[in-house]
Every structure is written in structure tokens, then in C-alpha cells.
Amino acid sequence: EVQLVQSGAEVKKPGESLKISCKGSGYSFTSYWIGWVRQMPGKGLEWMGIIYPGDSDTRYSPSFQGQVTISADKSISTAYLQWSSLKASDTAMYYCARLSSTSCYNCPLQHWGQGTLVTVSS
Amino acid sequence: DIVMTQSPDSLAVSLGERATINCKSSQSVLYSSNNKNYLAWYQQKPGQPPKLLIYWASTRESGVPDRFSGSGSGTDFTLTISSLQAEDVAVYYCQQYYSTPLIFTFGPGTKVDIK
């Protein structure tokens, strides 16, 4: 069974750094692209970016380029989303999701993590 | 970037009645070489992650009830719930996965409730 298990909720102060994780299991982690999606409180889904763990090829939405870093450690089947300096406006639920087909980047998001709630408040 | 719009923003439908949601992309998401529309529909219930319902505009994901169907091509798409059930109360999003820079934008969502 394909599973994406995300790290737990975080409460941080503005200016702090943060790295959240998404651990894949039940499939070949290096063979499928993983995307990250933001959902601000009461709002819709926003595409942040995507990574191919096999070679760490990473693409960002222009809205998030320079604001976050997406990475992966294939030795432990884990993808990451990190911030160097959080803002209150980063408060949101963050989802990772695996695309549907091997090595396919123009494919839908088939398997989703449970989400990580990030709260940034002074 | 491709901009996705949805209509209506919300709708309330009686149990057993049809619900129809529209999605429009700012440019075609039909890839002519394989005649596939790079368009997906997701369902998100409160407190849950989104769930893939439909991909390639009209292919139902495994396990999705056949009351859900997708149609359309190019820039205009529709998600239809043929006979609304109580468990279908959710927000529905369309998403294009056509864009070559891999920026796969979502529509703003449509909230479906019971009338």
C-alpha cells in the first residue's frame, strides 16, 4: 500500500526556520515525482512545487520560488519542505502528494499525505 | 501560467439530484499528440486531504463511485455527480497538469452542500 506520512504540526515564531517531512512507503520512492501543496486557513489549494527524488530535479511555482526549498533524501525515502525565515503568512496546512505514474511529471496527484499544519505566531 | 476558474463558487443540491461543476482553463490543456486533456478533479472533505476523483478529464480513479463523471476538452470541463449522496458534501477542485514548467494550478474550488 502506498503511504505518505508527514511530520507533525508545528508552532513557530516569525523569523524562525523550519523543515517538514513527507516519508513515502509501499512504492519505489525514487521513481515518482512528489508535489507540495499549500492550503491557507479556509482557502483553496495552491501548487508550490515538485521534486523527482531519483535525481532531485526540482521545479517551483513562481509564487514560492525563493520562499521555500524542496528537497529529498532518497536513502530514507523522505521529501522535505523548508523555510529559512518564517512569516505569519506561512500559517497553513501543507500537503505532499505523489504523482500517479512512474517518472511522469505531467500526471495527477494520486496519493496524498495527511498534511502538516504550520502555525507561525509571535 | 495557466489560470483555472470554476463555477459556481458553491451549490446546494437535494439528495438524489444532479450536481454540475464547471471548470475553465485560460489555455487549452489538450495535448494534440496523444489527444489527452491534462485535467484532474479532486474532492476534499472537511479535515481531510484532497482525494483524486477524475484524471485525463474523464477517467475515474479506482474505487470512485460511478455517479461521478468528468467531461469536456480543451479549455472547458465539467464534473457531474449524477445523484448526490450525503457523503458527497465537500469542496471540489479542478487542476491542470499540462504546463511544461510543471506549474500545475488548481481552480478556486466549488463547495457542494445538501439543500
Q: How does the average pLDDT of chain A come out, rounded?
A: 97
pLDDT of residue A69: 98
Per-residue pLDDT of B8-54, as tens digits, reads: 999 999 999 999 999 999 999 999 999 999 999 999 999 999 999 99
Which one of B97, B110, B111 would you mutate to disrupt binding with A, by most A Cβ within 10 Å of its Cβ? B97
* Percentage of chain A lying above the pLDDT 90 cut: 97
Per-residue pLDDT of B47-94, as tens digits, reads: 999 999 999 999 999 999 999 999 999 999 999 999 999 999 999 999
Q: Do the Cβ atoms of A33 and A51 come closer than 8 Å?
A: yes
User: Per-residue confidence at B102, pLDDT binned at 50, 70, 90?
Assistant: confident
B44/A59 CB distance under 8 A: no
pLDDT of residue B101: 81
Q: How far apart are the first and last CA of chain B?
A: 36
Distance (Å, whole) CA A98 – CA A35? 6
pLDDT of residue B26: 97
B42/A107 CB distance under 8 A: no
Distance, CA of B38 to chain centre? 12
Which one of A36, A45, A58, A59 would you mutate to disrupt binding with B, by most B Cβ within 10 Å of its Cβ? A45
Q: What mean pLDDT do residues A2-15 have? A: 98
Neighbour count for residue B70 (Cβ, 10 Å): 23
Residues of chain A in contact with residue B93, where contact means CB-CB under 8 angstroms, are 44-45
A20: left (phi over 0), alpha (psi -120 to 50) or beta: beta
Per-residue pLDDT of A86-118, as tens digits, reads: 999 999 999 999 999 998 889 999 999 999 999
pLDDT of residue B94: 98
B50/A112 CB distance under 8 A: yes
pLDDT of residue B109: 98
Per-residue pLDDT of A65-90, as tens digits, reads: 999 999 999 999 999 999 999 999 99
In the predicted model, is pLDDT for residue B114 greater than 90?
A: yes
Among chain A, residues having any CB pair with chain B shorter than 8 Å are 35, 37, 44-47, 50, 59, 61-62, 95, 97, 100, 105-110, 112-115
Q: How big is chain B, counted in residues?
A: 115
Which one of B6, B58, B103 would you mutate to disrupt binding with A, by most A Cβ within 10 Å of its Cβ? B103
Helix %, strand %, coil % for chain B, to 5?
A: 5, 50, 50
pLDDT of residue B1: 86
Residues of chain A in contact with residue B97, where contact means CB-CB under 8 angstroms, are 106-108
* Percentage of chain A lying above the pLDDT 70 cut: 100
Q: What mean pLDDT do residues A55-62 have? A: 95
Q: What mean pLDDT do residues A30-49 have? A: 97
pLDDT of residue A88: 98
Q: What mean pLDDT do residues B2-8 have? A: 97
Q: Do the Cβ atoms of B112 and B50 come closer than 8 Å?
A: no
